[in-house]
Amino acid sequence: MDATLTNDIKRLHEIIDGAERAVLFTGAGFSVPSGIPDFRSAGGIYDGEFAGYSAEYMLSHECLTLHPDLFFDFYKSHMLYPEAKPNAAHFFFAELERKGKLLSVVTQNIDGLHQAAGSKRVWELHGSVARNRCEKCGARYDEAFVIASQGVPRCEKCGGRVRPCVVLYGESLDQTVLEGAIRDISRADVLIVAGTSLAVYPAAMLPDYFRGRELVLVNKTPTARDGIATLAVYSDIAEVFGGEG
């Protein structure tokens, strides 16, 4: 680790130590040390085609509606990682919440690892693979049910299609979740944006609501918002927050 990075990480932890109402905003890179692939980096899930379609299309409302077999084949093979465990960064911020220094976690991730690490107040902008519902009767199912299903998951009660409670391309974010995330970010004195390139809207506009004193960006590569940050740390999550858990 070079001296600049060492100093940046030291400064980051000083900022965290001085926080009273920090908010953590995470993207796919936050879960990479847990064994879940990144999305937009070279070699990530979105770097390629599947059955002639882009990954964005495979995860779209249109694909679910018109090609449900194709959608679930992709979804089960590329989006579900039941063996993944929280890494050191997840536990670090869960402990920060327990100490009363972290107001909440706002995440674009759908893996549920923040909650698995013990975080209580989590705004899941894009939903969670842990929650699934029947489109016909509303019955709820867990991730294991979808994994065990053959082809398109079907409700055990009415036979309706069971879909993940995740926000697909072409669908709107849950307004209650979005408003809660905005409210917490606007109240925070420190905002830590980690593991996201801030390329997906409307999530990427959330830092605009921050009015606090320290905005920190932690990502392997630069983002479009680095110019407004107090500190930008270019490294992976594991290196910044203590290695893999």
Confidence (pLDDT) at 83: 95
Confidence (pLDDT) at 172: 94
pLDDT, tens only, 215-241 = 999 999 888 888 889 999 999 898 898
What letter represents residue 69's amino acid? D
Q: Note if the pTM is more than 0.75.
A: yes
Residue whose token pair is 């709107």: 172
Confidence (pLDDT) at 224: 83
90 tagged catalytic: no
49-50 and 122-124 beta bridge pairing: unpaired
Residue whose token pair is 């379609």: 53
Per DSSP, the residues of the chain read --HHHHHHHHHHHHHHHT-SSEEEEE-GGGGGGGTPPPSSSTTSTTSSEETTEEHHHHTBHHHHHH-HHHHHHHHHHHT--TT----HHHHHHHHHHHTT-EEEEEES--S-HHHHHT--SEEETTEEEEEEEETTT--EE-HHHHHHSSSS-B-TTT-PBEEEEE--BTSPPPHHHHHHHHHHHHH-SEEEEES--S-STTGGGGGGG--SSEEEEEESS--TTGGG-SEEEES-HHHHTTS--
d(C-alpha 154, C-alpha 133), whole Å: 10
Residue extents of the structural domains in the chain: 1-36+85-126+171-245
Kindly give the confidence (pLDDT) of every residue in the chain, 245 residues in length, as a single tens digit, with 9 standing for 90 and above. Answer: 688 889 999 999 999 999 999 999 999 999 999 999 876 655 556 656 677 889 999 999 999 999 999 999 999 999 999 999 999 999 999 999 999 999 999 999 999 999 999 999 999 999 999 999 999 999 999 999 999 999 999 999 999 999 999 999 999 999 999 999 999 999 999 999 999 988 878 888 999 999 999 999 999 988 888 888 999 999 989 889 874 43
Confidence (pLDDT) at 1: 67
Confidence (pLDDT) at 204: 84
Confidence (pLDDT) at 65: 97
d(C-alpha 113, C-alpha 9), whole Å: 23
pLDDT, tens only, 121-143 = 999 999 999 999 999 999 999 99
**Three-class SS of 54-82:** EHHHHCEHHHHHHCHHHHHHHHHHHCCCC
Confidence (pLDDT) at 245: 37
Q: Per the CATH hierarchy, to which homologous superfamily does domain 1-36+85-126+171-245 belong? A: TPP-binding domain (3.40.50.1220)
